[in-house]
Structure 1
Amino acid sequence: MPHSAPGQNSPAPTSSTHAHTIENHWAAVALIAASTFIVVAAEMMPVGLLTPIGADLVESEGTIGLSLAITGLVAAATAPFVPIVTRRFDRRSTLIVLMFVVAAANALTALAPSFAVLAGARVLLGVSMGGVWALAASLAPKLVGSRSVGLATTIIFSGIAVASVLGVPAGTYIGAAAGWSVAFWTLSCAATLIALAMFAVLPVMPADQALSLGSLAAAFRNPGVRVGIAITALIVTAHFAAYTYVRPGLELFAGLHPAQIGTMLLIYGALGVVGNFIAGPSATKSPKTVVVILSAGVAITLALFPISATTLITAALLMAAWGLFYGGVSVSTQTWIAQAAPVHREAAAALWVAVFNASIALGAFAGGSIHDHSGSETVFWIAAGIATLAMLLATFRNPVVAKHELTT
């Protein structure tokens, strides 16, 4: 990703081409950020609409909640293969098609007369979401010069961070005002507009020449990629184990009411966006340092929750710290992966997206099991321990490894 990584400057024409077209492509960066916002908002949208969807489809909230797991698991399973299946097409055309599929998936969700149709729509969303996210994670070097890759990557990932903050509240508001189906129609229209805008804004972006099933294997054989994937799995699992059950935790530790918990989540989300923009440019220069700091920050924050989040003020401070540290995890771990495998950037990004989404599901499942058997305190302490393992791994390993290790 940055120009200092080994092998990154091998294609001589790249930097001059980027230097010539850099001004024209910032709009494309912003548009790809908008696409990541839409897919993540669509993934999370049912969270705030479980009750009305369940009432209309005559299903329990728990059953409707499975729609989130379906999307995440399908995205995890398909993300590594979407870039390969579409390798004959340039990335501009592929993204446009994927955004139309996102639009169709949300329209089908809005029209769903039963949970079976809803589940089918969420499978469709999972495939398109995994594809959009996998491609978006690797496109910054195709759109801007090497000096601006860090900022471009940060902007692209800001779509994910902002969706995490605004997606659920916006959907809940629209659902309350006009009905849950209108929330999904809104997403469908937005995805369609983004796809149409891509026709005018995105430049032609050829796929990586060597992209194939073999490139996935080659990327995974890279020790730096394997370490980056392991760090991602640990910290994302730790985060979602605790975050999925943050409401009962705040109720238990600090005795907060639902309205206060909503404020806590808003504080967390706002600081998450800030953390994304702080970590992005810094990670371009030293992903190892940033990942160590962020994983240590998440571990310490989670460990402090059961003993320190006992008042409104301390809970707010810890939520702010949690958001600040975790907000930079996506962009910094992706930067680690990109620096580890500049030759197999798309393949490595696809593997990272798969692991990230699988870890969300694993974290939520593990957190639920621990919570039901041992309570909220144990959830946070075990999550802190898992985040500590991520910190230790990042401390003792590097994204860029010795050349002889890459020739296996």
Structure 2
Amino acid sequence: MKLNKQIAYVGCLGMIGIITTEFGIIGILPQIALYYKITIDKAAYLLSAFALVIACTGPFITLLLSSGFDRKKIMLTTIFIFLFSTVVSAFSPPFWLLMIVRMLPAFLQPVYIATAISAAVASGKKSEENQLMGIVLGGIALAMVTTVPFATYLSSLFSWQSSFYVQTIVSAVALIAIFKIMPSRDVPEKKSYGSQIKILKDSSFILSTAMNFFMIASWFSTYSYFADYLGRTRKLDMATVSYMLLLFGVVGVFSNWLSGKMLTKSITKTVAFFLSGTVIIPLILMYSGDNIWITIIVIIIWGFFYAPCFLNASAYMISAAPKSLEFANSLATSFGNLGVFLGTAAGGWIISHSTINNIPWAGMFFGFLALIMVAWRSILEKSKRKLMIIDL
């Protein structure tokens, strides 16, 4: 196996640990709400607070640590903090302490993602960039098909703390793999802050960032309440919800692979295609009824369109800032998590003021905004190309 593939797969394994910790909470929110005697929207703070920390601190910490520091040490430190967080969480501490230890690893999550992607990409050819990035970010889809549903299933058999046991094991395995396989003294060249920050003046990059923000908000306005939504609207028990999460993830592995292939041909068309799901899925969810077989079909379609969202967001933003890979990736992660926060908050607000049945409409609204950003950037770039031709 080539070295670049090894580095990419190690980064992928770390991603599985990170995503299991961040999104493994989704399947057990109803149990946590019951245990701590709080409402489901308050329990969702465990997800939204994690995302908000990433959104607020990610770019700044990434600017400080993404260049000039040993990549292996950064990745080891990040996964160790994730491991510490899950161990403490497994002891079911008071809710305020659970919130704090959940937020701790969020400070370094964007740094890990940016570092893992840049390490994989740096070891390969230019033509392999999207493929190697797809392997690293494929950890998201793999977590959705393996550890996240498995953790939810165990919690349905035993207790919600079981989910954190799974998260602990996955983080420990990732820590060992990074220590054993990642090359030491892999220190990227130090880049000036100014050379990276200047991408914030680029209108195409700004529109790409806005697309990422609205797209993730669209998906997570409903997905954050996946277990509670299926339980209330489709009358499914926790064990069945875990099977639905598994199915969701299985389809996601395929669509993530497909998206990686499509991105090599056209980034804009690929992003627009999968974005269309943010409009299609809410309509299907609202009018599909609660028949179990129809629900299975809905989950398949939902998982297909949702899974590549993080890969597509990163590729779309990097395409507007190819010379600032790490910083662009950190902004993709930060604004994506800001979208998680907004989507979760919007869904929670609808639940507390209306009914959980209505949360897909929020997803459709944010999805339309994301599609507008894609169209706007395309029009802007066509205008720029025409002006360049005229100048020539």
User: TM-score, normalising length from structure 2?
Assistant: 0.84
Matched with 2:63 is 84
Matched residue type, 1:84: L
Q: 1:48 to 1:295 in 2, by over 3 A?
A: closer
Partners of 2:145 and 2:289 lie apart in 1 by 21
Report matched runs for 1:4-403 at 5 Å: 23-49=2-28, 60=38, 62=40, 64-86=43-65, 87-111=67-91, 113-175=93-155, 181=161, 183-203=163-183, 204-207=185-188, 209-212=190-193, 214-215=194-195, 217-246=197-226, 255-258=234-237, 261-309=241-289, 311-376=291-356, 378-398=358-378, 401=381, 402=384
Q: Secondary structure of 2:147's match?
A: helix
Q: Deviations over 1:215-247 (max 9, x none)?
A: 553122222221211111111111111223456
Instruction: Give the Cα–Cα distance (whole angstroms) in 1 for the partners of residues 75 and 91 of structure 2.
Output: 24
Distance apart, 1:386 and its partner CA: 2.4
Quick one: distance in 2 between partners of 1:178 and 1:262?
13
Aligned 8 A contact 1:83 1:347 in 2? yes
Would the aligned equivalents of 2:4 and 2:120 in 1 still touch at CA under 8 Å? no
Q: 1:208 to 1:224 in 2, by over 3 A?
A: farther
Q: Mean alpha-carbon deviation: is it higher for 329-338 or for 70-79?
A: 70-79
The aligned amino acid for 2:205 is: V
Q: Distance in 2 between matches of 1:122 and 1:307?
A: 36
After superposition, the Cα gap between the structure-2 partners of 1:249 and 1:119, relative to the gap in structure 1 and judged at 3 Å, is closer
* Structure 1: gaps spanning 5 or more residues: 1-21
Structure-2 change in CA distance of 1:222 and 1:140 (3 Å) = farther
Equivalenced residues, count: 381
* Alpha carbons of structure 1 residues 364 and 31: separation in structure 2 relative to 1, 3 Å: same
Instruction: Report the alpha carbon displacement of residue 161 of structure 1 after superposing the two structures with TM.
Output: 1.6
Equivalent AA in structure 1 for residue 106 of structure 2: G
Q: Given that residues 256 and 312 in structure 1 are in contact (C-alpha distance below 8 angstroms), is that contact kept between their aligned partners in structure 2? A: no
The one-letter code sitting in structure 1 at the alignment partner of 2:48 is A
**1:308 Cα deviation from its structure 2 partner:** 3.5
Contact 2:17 2:174 in 1 (8 A): no
Unaligned runs of 5+ in 2: none
Q: Is the 8 A contact 1:64 1:115 kept in 2?
A: no
* Maintained 8 Å contact 1:80/1:216: no
CA RMSD of aligned residues (A): 3.2
CA distance in 1, matches of 2:352, 2:242: 23
Q: 1:173 to 1:322 in 2, by over 3 A?
A: closer
Distance in 2, Cα, partners of 1:208 & 1:303: 48
2:317 and 2:328 in contact (8 A); partners too: yes
Aligned mates of 2:220, 2:344 — CA distance in 1: 5
In structure 2, the residue corresponding to 1:81 is in which secondary structure? helix
Return the offset for 1:208: 5.2
The answer to whether the 8 A contact 1:288-1:399 is kept is: no
Q: Name the TM-score, length of structure 1 as normaliser.
A: 0.81
